[in-house]
Amino acid sequence: MATHRFQPTHYHTTLGPHAPVLRAAPGDTVITTCVDARGFDQHDQRVTAPGNPMTGPFFVEGAEPGDTLVVRLERLTPNRRRGWSGVLLAPNVLEPEHVPELARSGDFSARWNWAVDAEAGTARLDHPASPLHGFELALDPMLGCFGVAPEGGQAISTATSGPHGGNMDYRGFRAGVTVYLPVFEPGALFFLGDGHALQGDGEIAGTGIEISMDVQFSLELIKGQRIFWPRGEDEEFIFTAGNARPLDQCVQHATSEMLRWLETGYGIEPQHASLLMGQCVRYDLGNVFDPAYTMVCKMPKKLLGRLSR
Amino acid sequence: MATHRFQPTHYHTTLGPHAPVLRAAPGDTVITTCVDARGFDQHDQRVTAPGNPMTGPFFVEGAEPGDTLVVRLERLTPNRRRGWSGVLLAPNVLEPEHVPELARSGDFSARWNWAVDAEAGTARLDHPASPLHGFELALDPMLGCFGVAPEGGQAISTATSGPHGGNMDYRGFRAGVTVYLPVFEPGALFFLGDGHALQGDGEIAGTGIEISMDVQFSLELIKGQRIFWPRGEDEEFIFTAGNARPLDQCVQHATSEMLRWLETGYGIEPQHASLLMGQCVRYDLGNVFDPAYTMVCKMPKKLLGRLSR
Amino acid sequence: MATHRFQPTHYHTTLGPHAPVLRAAPGDTVITTCVDARGFDQHDQRVTAPGNPMTGPFFVEGAEPGDTLVVRLERLTPNRRRGWSGVLLAPNVLEPEHVPELARSGDFSARWNWAVDAEAGTARLDHPASPLHGFELALDPMLGCFGVAPEGGQAISTATSGPHGGNMDYRGFRAGVTVYLPVFEPGALFFLGDGHALQGDGEIAGTGIEISMDVQFSLELIKGQRIFWPRGEDEEFIFTAGNARPLDQCVQHATSEMLRWLETGYGIEPQHASLLMGQCVRYDLGNVFDPAYTMVCKMPKKLLGRLSR
Amino acid sequence: MATHRFQPTHYHTTLGPHAPVLRAAPGDTVITTCVDARGFDQHDQRVTAPGNPMTGPFFVEGAEPGDTLVVRLERLTPNRRRGWSGVLLAPNVLEPEHVPELARSGDFSARWNWAVDAEAGTARLDHPASPLHGFELALDPMLGCFGVAPEGGQAISTATSGPHGGNMDYRGFRAGVTVYLPVFEPGALFFLGDGHALQGDGEIAGTGIEISMDVQFSLELIKGQRIFWPRGEDEEFIFTAGNARPLDQCVQHATSEMLRWLETGYGIEPQHASLLMGQCVRYDLGNVFDPAYTMVCKMPKKLLGRLSR
């Protein structure tokens, strides 16, 4: 139950079987930092190249392919005052014939800054030329990209996502959440980064309010439990994430994974799981910006609690 | 500002340029009933053929193509005690290779009943053979299918949806919501039906808890305002619905329609609308069961209120 | 075995249960004309409104829901000298970020004319201002849109397609081809139009070389044979058309329909049909421009002939 | 202009920045062998693990990111007599509700053998228990999977495809074809394997007739020419391949890449390229089985020849 403090000196823009930066045992806690999506750190200095440079990988003792890695996101705190965001909605989230019209309607080339105050819990638009200068939003810090080394020795860009996690940009990956990831490589090799001070669903402008972060997480291991897609749990819901294109396929992965979870994790036979999901399921949208999109399938824990006897 | 009480004698399973059952003026209120998706009424008698038989159409005086019809859903009350739902998750929401496995795992052919108590606000599974018998869920009544006569003289099945509305199966279409629909035919020709006592996102088992309903709604008209997709408004959000396949295209329609609304309805220029949507937008899932799926794009009214000067 | 000569006086832009213009018996031949996609006839006069106005519907004696209508396209001849085409590739067939770039690169607003010579079998670009003026292509006349009244009393725009046929824009629907269509309404109610002097796959500029046509076809009926999607047959192949979005779903419909055809029409059991399709199937692309796209699944008749014992 | 003979001793199941097995100069020819998709060699011995083990990578002297690698496929010859194929159509190419029905209709678990005769140019089904035993098809040897190390230091599974090539399973990649690939890593790092004696479009049973092969190819380099997707050229057509999901997105990549090729490679301005593609383009289907599908956009060289002045 050690607590490791780790200060990264280099970063990765692929999730893959890279040399671990630290070895931790199940039960351990890690306190570290993440640079922002373009490689700028807590001092607002570029320390590595874009995009979505990852801290890690962390090697978890005893983790083997076929196990499940458990990561509890304990603390995600923006650690500088400048955040930034894109302005232009991604061409793939608009009607195709709308795309040239929007492009013609203004200058979308710049990134806009936000003044982030982690204590006050606010982000204010910091763009004096704009009539929206000073517009304030409530922080909801989250990690856009994290995951493990993928299956089969692959090294996959942090621009995209898959069964191993990756760039899912789901608002639900905030502090307090427990994440479950399939293990494909010995030690699991956990990576994390791409902090967002807050973000709209879909990350449709291609960014949240991007910022570097202080991060604390703990690690656990479920030996011999094979899962197929990232899973998570907060106070209200258990959830599963499907990462693919089109969104229809994300729905398929997330829904099948939830059905498997209800059956093997809660002992609910498929017929009843199917009936309950039909009337009680919720879906959230991760990003619709990256090469693979993300859709999340959720079931209320309160309801499942009433079933476990 | 008349109040019309209308008891349907026949129903439609297409939305199209059918003979109106009643003429109402903008400002009027209509109190009527809807049978369930299989044509059973408040006495649990089949009075018409499935599926999704519609009450209407209601002709709105003065409505012309290019206008916007405003429908305020004032009251949606289940008017009998038996609801029913499907058990089998739709094959299109599961991983393709999962479909035969689920089909083999049980008998999914029957529909299961629910005891619906509109006063208590509950639905309890009424299937004594099941270990889940008596399982209780909270009501959240909504309309699965409503809309106007589509563009170009079409008559489109109530199994699907489009710019004219139709079978969107979105939980957000509940009492208290104001809906906006494009007008394509003189009089708009508004239809409604397919009541759900409650429903999971996506209507992934192909049904909500299906039930007949007492319905009250009022009608208004916005002359000369052309919209492209159904819109809605509740206490917290304004929202737009895109109906298409795949879901990616639903996202495109809903997002473009929201951008248009922010620009023409709130005077927010595209650059700022784009910036704000990027960080503040929410998406909800309508059905992923029908020939056309539905995705809803939402913006918080509180936020928009701070922008209107 | 009568031959009907029919000169249309009005046209339809929906396929639906409209009043028949002519009643024909199985075995009969119909000789008629079709206007072009914008309603211009053989004299290059606009005689009806766009888009894709249909000649018909033709009522086939004895046709009942659950039967199969057989239409042999015997002659498709452009009957005037001016054809026209769009210039701009549809925004939905380009990479989203490519769309504004192409839009900026030139003026795509005009339609360009082609000099069509049906005897010589050529179309020459007739646009003196262009360096391509006089560029010649070989004719390959086809029908972009035809079909029957759809299921359930629907009337569906000629801009799109479905199980009933419609705007499939498949180059394989040329003279010499036999088409099979499911019957949904008494009399089947066959419509046709949208002649193309020639067309690229996908109709990616939104048009072929659009032209009015003289058309001859014969009608037959297969009683009690239910099919689910349009089918066709030429000298080399039998084929099935799936109409939906995304193309993945078109592939699904066309492939399932071919499997059904091999089983019920050729007596090949699913295991062998599956094996053969795996190694011998061909796919063609219909349009990727309309609300529903089209994909065609083909099997070589020579091969199937060797299996029928 | 050396000719290298290379006998592989190990194989890769990712395309990535692996240690080269041989260095070749532009102009050189390589003669080598490929095992089949499951790792069986010319002696029908398993020499490496599945799936799609690659021969290579070959380092091309002088190749730098931003260049184009040119590979001429000179000879692809099955080098043993046993081929094999899957029987079951992939669940993702069938209507979802058709999937359990097909699965129930027979036993699809086995792979079936084919007797391949490279001299005679035939494959005969070698499955005595089947009524189709002895059924003969004409060979059309091709490579299912080849490509270069992907962008950004990624290592991507040979089960899928992308801008770097990979598992495209396109019948058009046969002997006589010249392939163009973007270079992302120094030396390009060219891999190849997954020989098919023949294959249906889409590889819808998950395999072609899988076989090991003798392969000969030559290498060239175009310095400073950046392309975005694999391109190819045979006697009749130039073509571009888009690898993604859904197929609609494959169409987008392939179409945009063709437009770029016509503009920069043939000097045809976008407006005219757009006009010509609209009427003359052809599309072929690569696989619809893998995580990324493939669609190919083709333009006839004869037609382009008439434009180059």
DSSP A184-250: -STT--EEEEEEES---GGGTTS-SSB--EEEEEEEEEETT---SS-EEE-SSEEEEEEEESSHHHH
Q: Under DSSP, is residue B200 helix (H, G, I), strand (E, B) or coil?
A: coil
State the SS3 of chain D: CCEEECCCCCCECEECCCCCCEEECCCCEEEEEECCCCCECCCCCECCCCCCCEEEEEEECCCCCCCEEEEEEEEEEECCCEEEECCCCCHHHCCHHHHHHHHHCCCCCCCEEEEEECCCCEEEEECCCCCCCCCEEECCCEEEEEEECCHHHCEEECCCEECCEEECCCCCCECCCEEEEECCCCCCCEEEEEEECCCCHHHCCCCCCECCEEEEEEEEEECCCCCCCCEEECCCEEEEEEEECCHHHHHHHHHHHHHHHHHHHHCCCHHHHHHHHHHHCEEEECCCCCCCEEEEEEEEHHHHHCCCC
- What confidence tier does C132 reach under pLDDT thresholds 50, 70, 90? very high
Task: Report the pLDDT value the prediction gives residue D260, as an integer from 0 to 100.
Answer: 98
Flag whether residue B280 sits within 8 Å of chain D, measured between CB atoms: no
The dihedral through the CA atoms of C230, C235, C238, C244 has a sign that is negative
Gap between the Cα atoms of B299 and B305, Å rounded: 11
Residue C106's closest CA among B112, B72, D270, D25? D270
Identify the CA nearest to B220 among candidates B262, B185, B180, B264: B180
pLDDT digits (tens, 9 = 90+) for B16-31: 999 999 999 999 999 9
For residues C219 and C58, is the Cβ–Cβ distance under 8 A?
yes
Average pLDDT, chain A: 97
How much is the pLDDT for B308? 62
Q: Give the HSE-up count for residue C97: Cα atoms under 13 Å, Cβ half-sphere.
A: 6
CB atoms B100 and D100 under 8 Å: yes
Q: Does A90 touch chain B (CB under 8 A)?
A: no
Contact residues, chain D, for B97 at CB < 8 Å: 91
D238 pLDDT higher than 60: yes
User: Which superfamily is assigned to A3-82+139-222 in CATH?
Assistant: Acetamidase/Formamidase-like domains (2.60.120.580)
**B167: β partners:** B145
Tell me the pLDDT of chain C averaged across its residues.
97
Token digits of residue A105: 């309607």
Using CB atoms, which chains have 3+ pairs under 8 A with D? A, B, C
Mutate to test the interface with A, among C89, C93, C97 (most CBs of A within 10 A): C97
pLDDT for the residue C218: 98
Statement: residue B165 has pLDDT above 90: yes
**Which residue matches tokens 């809803």?**
B296
pLDDT for residue B101:
93
D105 to chain A, minimum CA–CA distance in Å? 23
The pLDDT > 90 percentage for chain C reads 95
Asked if C157 has any chain B CB less than 8 Å from its own CB, the reply is yes
* Cα nearest neighbour of B113 on chain A: A275
Single-letter amino acid, residue D196: H
User: Is the pLDDT reported for residue A295 higher than 60?
Assistant: yes
> In angstroms, how far is CA B130 from the centroid of its own chain?
31
A251 touches chain B (CB under 8 A): yes
Task: Please check whether residue D102 touches C, CB under 8 A.
Answer: yes
Nearest CA to C51 among C12, C90, C88, C20? C12
Q: Which run of H or of E encompasses C9? A: none
Q: Under an 8 A CB cutoff, do B153 and C153 touch?
A: no
Closest residue, chain A, to D292 (C-alpha) = A245
Q: Nearest C-alpha of chain D: how many angstroms from C37?
A: 16
pTM greater than 0.90: yes
- CA-to-CA dists, residue C202 to C198, C289, C296, D309, angstroms: 12, 7, 11, 28
Q: Which chain D residues are Cβ-neighbours of A16 within 8 angstroms?
A: 154-155
pLDDT in tens, A227-236: 999 999 999 9
pLDDT of residue B242 exceeding 80: yes
* pLDDT, tens digit (0-9, with 9 covering 90-100), for D243-255: 999 999 999 999 9
Distance from CA of A101 to the nearest CA of B (A): 10
Q: What is the mean pLDDT of residues D224-231?
A: 98
| Strand-pair partners of D203 | none
Mean pLDDT to the nearest integer, A256-282: 96
Architecture of the structural domain at D231-305: Roll (3.10)
User: Which percentage of chain B shows pLDDT scores above 70?
Assistant: 99
Whether residue C85 and residue D135 make contact (CB cut-off 8 A), yes or no, is no
Interface of C with D in 23-62 (CB under 8 A): none
Residue B257's nearest CA partner among B290, B228, B221, B288 is B228
What would the pLDDT profile of C49-75 be if each residue is shown by its tens digit?
999 999 999 999 999 999 999 999 999
Cis peptide before C246 (omega within 30 of 0): yes
- Tens digit of pLDDT for each residue in A56-75? 999 999 999 999 999 999 99
Model confidence at B309: pLDDT above 60: no
Q: Return the residue of D nearest to B97 by Cα.
A: D91
Q: Where in chain B is the domain with CATH 2.60.120.580?
A: 3-82+139-222
Q: How many CB pairs under 8 A join C and D?
A: 194
CATH 3.10.28.20 location in chain B: 231-305
What residues of chain C lie within 8 A of the CB of A97, using their CB?
A: 91
The boundaries of every CATH 3.10.28.20 domain in chain A are 231-307
- The reply to whether A249 touches chain D by the CB within 8 Å rule is yes
For the four alpha carbons of D79, D81, D82 and D85, in that order, the dihedral sign comes to positive
**Cβ within 8 Å, pair C91-A99:** yes
Contacts of B262 (CB under 8 A, 6+ apart): B268, B273, B276, B277, B299, B304
Chain C within 8 Å of B249 (Cβ-Cβ)?
yes
**pLDDT surpasses 60 at D197:** yes
From the CA of D125, how many Å to the nearest CA of chain C?
Answer: 10
Mean pLDDT value of segment C10-30: 98
Confidence class of residue C109 from pLDDT cuts 50, 70 and 90?
confident
Q: What is the pLDDT of residue C306?
A: 87
| Signed CA dihedral, D60, D61, D65, D71: sign only | negative
Q: Chain C partners of D106 at a C-beta cutoff of 8 Å?
A: 269-271
Fold of C3-82+141-222: Jelly Rolls (2.60.120)
C103 interface with A at CB cutoff 8 Å: yes
Q: Is B36 left (phi over 0), alpha (psi -120 to 50) or beta?
A: beta
- Within an 8 Å CB–CB cutoff, is residue D228 touching chain A? no
Question: Percent of chain D at pLDDT above 70?
Answer: 99
Beta carbons within 8 Å of C200's beta carbon, 6+ residues apart: C208, D277, D278, D279, D280, D281, D282
pLDDT at site B110: 86
Mean pLDDT across the stretch B231-260? 98
**Site from B157, B158, B293 to mutate, C interface, most C CB atoms within 10 angstroms:** B157
Q: What is the pLDDT of residues B172-203, one digit of tens each?
A: 999 999 999 999 999 999 999 999 999 999 99
CATH assignment, C231-307: 3.10.28.20
Give residue A182's pLDDT.
Answer: 98
Q: Which of D12, D228, D245 would you mutate first to test chain A, the one with the most A CBs within 10 A?
A: D245
